[in-house]
Every structure is written in C-alpha cells, then in structure tokens.
Amino acid sequence: MQSTSKSKRRLELMPEVLPAPTKETGNASVRARTMGHMHKMMAAAGAVAGCSRAITQGDNTITIPPATSASTSPSTATIPSAPSTIVATPTAPVPTVPSGPATGYMVVDMLPSPARCYGVGASVKATAVWRQDTTGLYAELTLNGTVPANAFQPNAVSVWGGAVMSTGGTAQTVLIKVRPSPGNTSFGASVDVACSGTTGAVVATVQLTGPKKVGDKLPVTVIDR
C-alpha cells in the first residue's frame, strides 16, 4: 500500500509565465501615443457616418470631410421662390333676377292671373281658313259666341305672330283677318269680352300647319283669360 501511494505524483499549479516587456521605439510620449490611437478611431467613425465635423481634443484638431457622390449629389440645387403676390380666384357673378309685375299668384314660378270670365272660352266656336287677295294668302279667324250673356268687344282686339289686316263684328261674332309673319308656325288673337258684370278676354291660337291652300281650315284653340 505504501509503495502505491508513493508512486502517485502530487498535482501542483505551475507558476504564470508573462512575456517580457518591450520598450516602445521612438520619441513619442505616452500621451502622444494615446492621442494618436484616439484620433485614428475617431477618423474611422467619421468616415463611416459620412458627416463633416471638426473634432478638437486638447491642442490637436481633426477635420473629417463628408462623403460625396458625383452621381447622386448635384453640385447646385435651385429652389423656386414663392410668388410675392397672391392672386385671388375670381368668383362667378351672381345673376340678378328681373322683377316682374305682381300677379297675385306667386309661389315658386310666376303663374298667370285666373280667368276673369271663366268658361267663356269653352262656349266660343272658332274657325280659321286660308283666304287670298291681291297681295297673297292670309288667315281669316271667326269667333262665334253661344252664350247671350257674354258680349264681345270688337274694338278691343290684339294680335301677335302676324299683321292685322282688319277686325270687326258684333257682340256675338268677331271677324279677324291676319297675314301671318314669314316663318311663323302659329299666330294668336285676344278679344275682350264682358261677362257677369266684369270684363275678361278669350285667346285664340291658330296653328299654321299643312299645305297653304285657299279654303283649307286651320286648327284653332280658345282659352279664357
């Protein structure tokens, strides 16, 4: 047993072996060498960031120029200046609505006055035919009243859409001769009529349709006014 224990070697820590110190060559001081290493590190960092700035440490100053690219950085950039005068956008003029005579019936649209002799137009028989004289064709309009209480006023006749050649008649019959204006497709005539203690009117509209032959009848419509 003793021989076995003596044969085992004891494990011990070996002494640490350090490299021999070397002396820095050159005349630079420790501070100068430290500053040199720091300047190299800051120069590398500035080149990566691509910025231009001056780094000052003590008495030493390092200026790092920015990274430039001929393809992406234009040499001169022109920024247009804003106009000194602002022109206001013109506004559309507001149209003015002409004022007309009061009619008594105005809600949204102007409406004609109600007929003062209501129903007289339906009681009037109207005919119109083509006639001819030495100057050419003209239309002859005849209005016959069927209600004795109504009386035409032959002297109160107005015509539009043509030239009046003559008017006349009685309280029951009115005869109007009109030469239509060239190019018109119709003409109209208004005759005053007395009814039930008041004065109204009947309006006849003659359509100038179809061929213009002597004796041909023309369509006529009559309404109260």
**Domain range list for the chain:** 31-64, 121-224
- Looking at residue 102, its pLDDT comes to 58
Q: List, for residues 166-188, the tens digit of each pLDDT value.
A: 999 999 999 999 999 999 999 99
∠ CA 87-89-93, nearest 5°, is 135
Structure tokens that stand for 145 in this block: 């009243």
Q: Are 122 and 150 in contact (CB under 8 A)?
A: no
pLDDT at 67: 55
Do residues 191 and 143 touch, judged by C-beta distance below 8 A?
yes
Q: Which parts of the chain sit beneath pLDDT 50?
A: 70-71
| Chain centre distance of CA 144 | 56
Pairing mode, if any, of strands 53-57 and 60-64? Answer: antiparallel
Q: Is the pTM of this model over 0.75?
A: no
Q: Which CATH architecture has domain 121-224?
A: Sandwich (2.60)
